[in-house]
């Protein structure tokens, strides 16, 4: 078959565009071999698209591919891929399972295998063939915003789970050819969880031994289990072994794994014998030296087989450029033939030549059994949530709670599905969920009310009028707001203390102090994607449960918190810490020494678990209902050093004016994962924002058109390092800019300045922009005191100006600065 393909047809099999940037005609013209839907991209843009909508869409593109091969002596089936990282999480009504960090706490490979099988059935029920899971990373730094995507810090756990999840998703060779299983993808190759400072897309400096013995274990087991795809990491590995495969060809190789022939070809393909598809991450080739959004030549020569390219112009450019580079001898023909052979091999192993069209498969055709969100699968998700709970503190006799108790359910996460589910839930960040997004979902408030009855349950997330003393117990539900990559990483200069991260989290701590002072028995449930310093919160609680990100079925939590009808424990706590728990606010990378590596040396990116950095609770810790109260309480608090005085300031802070800007202007947000730079010399257009610079009498302005997806436009320090700008606050400064509103925002448009921690607060500008009217230039002036009041940390400002919105808007912005009175 390979011998009968033209070069253009071969390259078409290697390009994977995104749904929003692809048409059926494109598939026919370019012989595209696969496509994907990114998080938050749905059929016809409908957030609540039905299962039939999905099936019809996939079938539409599959049919176009069939038409593309008419008249040829062979056909090549089309594949559809999706991010199903904790269930089929992009599809309305699908079962959402706990995120991987919680599954790691469960310590149950058979549970993982069953979740894989259930997920495969739900994905297959939408006519899809391929998913980008499991993530088998070993997260080593708690500041990393993707920490929860890994099963935990123990490589042995990743090894066991990597194998189990692949077996669940794919089954054996015969099962994979049925239409009840899907192709699995191990990701992200390699050491994305081992970067310095936990930086997303950062650099790992560890030895090759650490790379192999810590970070590769899930891949080794998953490949042995038959995984047919491996996705490469955005991150870099800086080591002499990671050589430049084409020296002298331009700027030096920048150590990105996507450009590493050593790691992709020499190790993964040759040494490990992996003969499936090596796929890029979203537009990640563009971050490799000598590549760009429309040129992937260097990365293809490193060994990438399929290129995930989002933008329409970008994927068409990659197609053209690759064809031209093969003809020019820059990319060897053998490299293209190897890549195409791998794609066809995987399609054959998946039985795609024998499967009927997507709309006529056993789980998609009319009358097929309903598997999306089935009671059986939701019961499995509830079981997984129950088994993942880790009891960190317990006062004997308190738990399980009697079903006749009068209960106050309070805290910021008391009635919040987003905090329970985390990122990658229907949308990319998962931070805008409501009840209609998760049919059948139950919050903690719902679940407790179902146990004790509405009359005995008071739900008040921030009790002002409720008297806690009128209740027998308070269940205080606290937790991180949902986040995913880009917006989830804690910068190196920040604390990992829960109450330090956001004002809303600090209010949870104040609530616990009030309840403790009132003498109300308190059970605290923490929803989090990573271990966080919360020692005071633990001390103030009579019981403290790490619930991780259990998903939308909070009954899995109340199953353990409350007694059975006869008063006996219904379930005991089975979860054990998959990662050690921090003793101090700055203990971001304190990991257990791996027992299976007698010569292990702690890499410089990590901190030895000794002295003051000994974990508060070690890997594998967890209490049961029958354990006595541990000695040594209250736990010792970590008192942070006092902040230095605010630096004095003497003049305005320039952001954008007549002289240009000293900052780097960028765009990020929905499906724009390799953040786009905005120049002052030419327009920039991406999926979410169109930016056009133009001159004004007083300097340079930017015309910004927000297209209706979550997007933020910002000015960032070129070094990425923050500055202490509290002096401007002390001096009563304003953040001021000129604006001309061409089209009013369709949703709130926020102004912010911060260090890029997840979803830092902003000031809604909507009323100010509406007052400005249309077409005329107006000055907007926001007191820094107003930004500080919503929780902006002015001690660490790497981004002095940001506009973000989820809606549409068009405006021109100029003369941006921090101005003294």
Quick check: 604 pLDDT over 60? Answer: yes
Quick check: 623 pLDDT over 60? Answer: yes
Provide mean pLDDT across the span 54-83: 96
- Show the 3-state SS of 388-446: HCEEEEECCCCCCECCCCCEEEECCCCCCHHHHHCCCECECCCCCCCHHHCCCCECHHH
Residue 326 contacts residue 297 (beta carbons within 8 Å): no
Quick check: 552 pLDDT over 70? Answer: yes
pLDDT at 673: 59
pLDDT at 192: 97
Side-chain-facing half-sphere of 559: CA atoms under 13 Å: 21
pLDDT at 532: 98
pLDDT, tens digit (0-9, with 9 covering 90-100), for 230-239 = 999 999 999 9
Q: What is the C-alpha separation between 763 and 515, in angstroms, rounded?
A: 31
Task: State what percent of residues in the chain have pLDDT above 90.
Answer: 85
What's the angle, vertex CA 768, arms to CA 766 and CA 771, rounded to 5? 110
Mean pLDDT is lowest, of 80-89, 549-558, 639-648, for 639-648
Provide mean pLDDT across the span 800-808: 93
Quick check: 632 pLDDT over 80? Answer: no
Task: State what percent of residues in the chain have pLDDT above 70.
Answer: 99
pLDDT at 299: 98
Quick check: 732 pLDDT over 60? Answer: yes
pLDDT at 344: 98
Mean pLDDT is lowest, of 66-80, 446-460, 790-804, for 790-804
Active site residue 281: yes
| Top-confidence residue, 599 or 99 | 99
pLDDT at 420: 98
Mean pLDDT is lowest, of 170-179, 227-236, 643-652, for 643-652
Cβ-based neighbour number of residue 151 at 10 Å: 33
Indicate the pairing of strand 522-527 with strand 543-548.
Answer: parallel
Provide mean pLDDT across the span 336-356: 98
pTM of the predicted model over 0.85: yes
Active site residue 606: no
For the chain, the C-alpha Rg in angstroms (whole number) is 27
Q: What is the C-alpha separation between 396 and 627, in angstroms, rounded?
A: 8
Provide mean pLDDT across the span 611-626: 95
Which residues have CB under 8 Å from 250's CB, separation 6+? 289, 290
Which residues have CB under 8 Å from 106's CB, separation 6+? 384, 387, 388, 574, 575
pLDDT at 672: 65
Under the banding of pLDDT at 50, 70 and 90, the label for residue 674 is: low
Query: What phi-psi label fits residue 116: left (phi over 0), alpha (psi between -120 and 50 degrees) or beta?
Result: alpha
Which residues have CB under 8 Å from 187's CB, separation 6+? 132, 133, 134, 135, 136, 137, 230, 231, 233, 281
Q: What is the C-alpha separation between 476 and 522, in angstroms, rounded?
A: 7
Q: What is the C-alpha separation between 142 and 220, in angstroms, rounded?
A: 24
pLDDT at 236: 98
**DSSP states of 701-722:** EEEEEEESSSEEEEEE-TT---
Query: What phi-psi label fits residue 764: left (phi over 0), alpha (psi between -120 and 50 degrees) or beta?
Result: beta
Quick check: 58 pLDDT over 90? Answer: yes
Q: What is the C-alpha separation between 141 and 268, in angstroms, rounded?
A: 25
- Show the 3-state SS of 180-226: CCCECEEEEECCHHHCHHHCCCCEECCCHHHHHHHHCHHHHHHHHCC
Under the banding of pLDDT at 50, 70 and 90, the label for residue 493 is: confident
Which residues have CB under 8 Å from 114's CB, separation 6+? 168, 380
pLDDT at 756: 62
Under the banding of pLDDT at 50, 70 and 90, the label for residue 518 is: very high
Catalytic residue among 129, 281, 287, 755: 281
Q: Directed axis angle between helix 312-327 and helix 7-14, to 10°?
A: 140
pLDDT at 793: 84
How much is the mean pLDDT over the chain?
94
| Top-confidence residue, 594 or 176 | 176
pLDDT, tens digit (0-9, with 9 covering 90-100), for 273-298 = 999 999 999 999 999 999 999 999 99
Q: What is the C-alpha separation between 340 and 5, in angstroms, rounded?
A: 10
Catalytic residue among 485, 508, 606, 806: 485
End-to-end CA, the chain: 73
pLDDT at 757: 53
Quick check: 371 pLDDT over 90? Answer: yes
Under DSSP, the state recorded for 292 is: B
Provide mean pLDDT across the span 306-327: 96
pLDDT at 250: 83
pLDDT at 671: 63
Cβ-based neighbour number of residue 175 at 10 Å: 15
Provide mean pLDDT across the span 683-712: 90
Cβ-based neighbour number of residue 158 at 10 Å: 32
pLDDT at 759: 56
Cβ-based neighbour number of residue 422 at 10 Å: 33
Provide mean pLDDT across the span 798-816: 94
pLDDT at 40: 85
Residue 373 contacts residue 94 (beta carbons within 8 Å): yes
Name the residue among 588, 486, 485 with its Cα closest to residue 85: 485
Mean pLDDT is lowest, of 244-258, 396-410, 543-557, for 244-258
Quick check: 582 pLDDT over 60? Answer: yes
């Amino acid at each position: 078959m390979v011998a009968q393909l033209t070069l253009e047809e071969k390259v078409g099999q290697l390009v994977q565009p995104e749904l929003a940037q692809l048409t059926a005609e494109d598939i026919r013209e370019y012989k595209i071999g696969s496509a994907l839907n990114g998080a938050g991209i749905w059929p016809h843009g409908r957030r609540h698209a039905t299962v039939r909508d999905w099936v019809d869409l996939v079938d539409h593109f599959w049919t176009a591919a069939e038409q593309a091969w008419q008249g040829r002596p062979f056909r090549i089936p089309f594949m559809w891929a999706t991010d199903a990282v904790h269930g089929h999480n992009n599809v309305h009504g699908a079962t959402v399972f706990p995120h991987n960090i919680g599954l790691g706490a469960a310590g149950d490979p058979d549970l993982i295998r069953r979740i894989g099988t259930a997920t495969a059935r739900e994905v297959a029920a939408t006519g899809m063939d391929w998913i980008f899971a499991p993530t088998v990373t070993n997260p080593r730094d708690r500041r990393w915003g993707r920490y929860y995507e890994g099963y935990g810090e123990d490589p042995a756990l990743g090894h066991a789970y990597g194998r189990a999840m692949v077996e669940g998703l794919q089954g054996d060779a015969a099962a994979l050819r049925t239409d009840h299983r899907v192709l699995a993808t191990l990701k992200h190759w390699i050491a994305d969880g081992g970067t310095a400072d936990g930086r997303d897309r950062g650099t790992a400096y560890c030895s090759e031994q650490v790379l192999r013995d810590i970070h590769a274990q899930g891949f080794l087991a998953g490949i042995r289990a038959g995984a047919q795809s491996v996705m490469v990491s955005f991150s870099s590995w800086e080591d002499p072994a990671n050589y430049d495969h084409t020296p002298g060809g331009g700027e030096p190789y920048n150590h990105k794994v996507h450009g590493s022939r050593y790691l992709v070809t020499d190790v993964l393909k040759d040494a490990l014998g992996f003969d499936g598809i090596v796929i890029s991450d979203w537009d990640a080739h563009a971050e490799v030296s000598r590549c760009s959004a429309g040129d992937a030549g260097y990365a293809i020569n490193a060994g990438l087989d399929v290129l995930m390219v989002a933008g329409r112009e970008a994927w068409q450019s990659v197609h053209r450029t690759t064809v031209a580079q093969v003809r020019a001898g820059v990319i060897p023909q053998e490299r293209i033939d190897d890549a195409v052979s791998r794609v066809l091999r995987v399609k054959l192993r998946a039985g795609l030549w024998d499967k009927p069209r997507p709309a006529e498969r056993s789980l998609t055709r009319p009358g097929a059994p309903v598997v999306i969100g089935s009671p059986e699968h939701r019961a499995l998700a509830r079981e997984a949530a129950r088994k993942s709970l880790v009891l960190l503190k317990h006062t004997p006799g308190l738990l399980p709670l009697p079903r006749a108790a009068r209960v106050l359910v309070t805290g910021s996460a008391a009635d919040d599905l987003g905090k329970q589910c985390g990122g990658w839930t229907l949308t990319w960040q998962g931070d805008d969920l409501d009840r209609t997004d998760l049919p059948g979902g139950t919050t903690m408030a719902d679940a407790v009310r179902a146990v004790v009855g509405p009359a005995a349950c008071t739900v008040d997330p921030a009790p002002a009028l409720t008297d806690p003393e009128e209740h027998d117990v308070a269940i205080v539900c606290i937790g991180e707001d949902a986040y995913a990559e880009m917006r989830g990483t804690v910068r190196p200069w920040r604390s990992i203390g829960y109450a330090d991260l956001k004002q809303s989290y600090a209010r949870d701590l104040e609530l616990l102090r009030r309840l403790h002072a009132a003498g109300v028995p308190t059970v605290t449930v923490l929803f989090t994607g990573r271990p966080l310093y919360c020692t005071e919160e633990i001390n103030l609680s009579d019981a403290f449960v790490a619930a991780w990100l259990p998903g939308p079925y909070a009954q899995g939590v109340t199953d353990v918190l409350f007694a059975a009808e006869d008063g006996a424990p219904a379930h005991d706590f089975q979860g054990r810490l998959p990662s050690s728990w921090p003793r101090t606010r700055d203990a971001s990378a304190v990991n257990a020494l791996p027992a299976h590596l007698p010569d292990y040396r702690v890499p410089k990116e990590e901190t030895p678990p000794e002295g003051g950095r000994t974990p508060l609770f070690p890997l594998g810790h967890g209490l049961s209902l029958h354990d006595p109260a541990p000695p040594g309480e209250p736990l010792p608090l970590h008192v942070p050093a006092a902040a230095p005085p605010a630096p004095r300031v003497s003049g305005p802070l320039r952001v954008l004016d007549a002289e240009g800007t000293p900052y780097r202007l960028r765009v990020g947000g929905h499906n724009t994962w390799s953040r786009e730079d905005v120049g002052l010399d030419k327009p920039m257009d991406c999926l979410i924002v169109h930016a056009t610079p133009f001159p004004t009498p007083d300097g340079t302005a930017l015309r910004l058109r927000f297209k209706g997806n979550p997007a933020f436009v910002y000015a960032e320090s070129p070094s990425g390092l923050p500055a202490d700008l509290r002096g401007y606050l002390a001096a009563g400064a304003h953040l001021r800019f000129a604006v001309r509103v061409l089209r009013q925002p369709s949703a709130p448009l926020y102004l912010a300045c911060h260090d890029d921690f997840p979803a830092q607060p902003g000031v809604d500008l909507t009323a100010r922009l509406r007052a400005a009217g249309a077409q005329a230039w107006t000055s907007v002036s926001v007191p820094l005191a107003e930004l500080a009041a919503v929780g902006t940390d002015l001690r660490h400002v790497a981004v002095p100006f940001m506009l973000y919105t989820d809606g549409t808007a068009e405006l021109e912005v100029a003369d941006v600065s921090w101005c003294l009175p």
